[in-house]
Amino acid sequence: MKRLLGQHFLKNKAAIKKIVAALDLEENDTVIEIGPGHGELTQELSCHPINIIAIEKDVALANKLAEKFKIVQGDALKELPKLINQLKTKSYKLVGNIPFYITGHLLRVISELENKPTITVLTIQKEVAKRIVAQPPKMNRLAASVQIWAGVEIIAHIPAQDFDPPPAVDSVVVRLKTKDHSSIYDREYLSKYYCVAKMLFQQPRKTVLNNLSAGLKISKEDLLKKLGAIGLSGGERPQNLSIDQIAKTAKALSTI
């Protein structure tokens, strides 16, 4: 067992079936699996008339799986963007029981993809999932960064004993459904949005006005005018803002 890769293999067949069901598979779908490990989830996916491509970092596991499935050997954080650019279809789905330590980085990689998966189903650490699905008054930077491009829900809880070896914490399965194409996919706007979200949550205990004024080269008077135009006083706390309010704030500040 190569624990350096953070591998914990899901052995609960009922949980695996829930993960597959959450993908809403249709005939000829293309599904990219991250970290197939021994292939338990891959095998269940193969029961459907779909196209499966798996990315596995562990060389020995990748070679073993390549006897039955289409495997890309390498780091998913690097290989995923390249693989998507090579796909013959624009529509695909993403699934994986991923190492906990890459969750944030992987979500950032997905958020930066011009062609995002229609549905993403990931098994991740329970506490991280709770942050991702948070709503006001518990909004946070991670939730703001994900919910701008996807609707997120927790669909299953998986206790540690359902893995081999069992991790130190429980896991959940999250389903991310990419939002319909709109102006949010403009890269320049998204860049501004993420920048504003970072500034807003830099000091969560401070007000919206104080956080933004600390990060922008603009007077508080001018900033208050821009915030007032979208219905904010500036005295709000970041954790109380909705995704819509954060998005409107980024748009209002887009010319700065």
In a shared domain, residues 31 and 142? yes
Domain of 133, in residue numbers: 3-179
pLDDT along the chain (256 residues), means of 10: 62 96 98 96 97 96 96 97 93 93 94 93 96 97 96 96 92 95 67 94 93 91 96 97 96 85
In a shared domain, residues 145 and 167? yes
Q: Which residues of 89-124 are buried (b: 16+ CB within 10 A; e: fewer)?
A: eeebbbbbbbbbebbbebbeebeeeeebbebbbbbb
In a shared domain, residues 47 and 148? yes
What would the pLDDT profile of 137-174 be if each residue is shown by its tens digit?
999 999 999 999 999 999 999 999 999 899 999 999 99
**Can you give the pLDDT at residue 178?**
95
Residue 43: how many other CB atoms lie within 10 Å: 15
**Can you give the pLDDT at residue 2?**
45
**Can you give the pLDDT at residue 188?**
77
Three-state DSSP state, 124: strand
Q: What are the Cα distances from residue 109, in Å, to 104, 190, 204, 252?
A: 9, 13, 25, 26
Residue 27: how many other CB atoms lie within 10 Å: 7
Residue 174: how many other CB atoms lie within 10 Å: 25
In whole angstroms, give the CA distance from residue 95 to residue 31: 7
What would the pLDDT profile of 117-143 be if each residue is shown by its tens digit?
999 999 999 999 999 999 999 999 999
Give me the count of residues in the chain. Answer: 256
Residue 101 forms beta bridges with which residues?
none
Q: What is the pTM of this model?
A: 0.92
Query: Residue 96: how many CA atoms within 13 Å on its side-chain side?
Result: 25
**Can you give the pLDDT at residue 114?**
87
CATH of the domain at 173: 3.40.50.150
CATH of the domain at 209: 1.10.8.100
**Can you give the pLDDT at residue 204?**
86
**In total, how many domains does the chain have?**
2
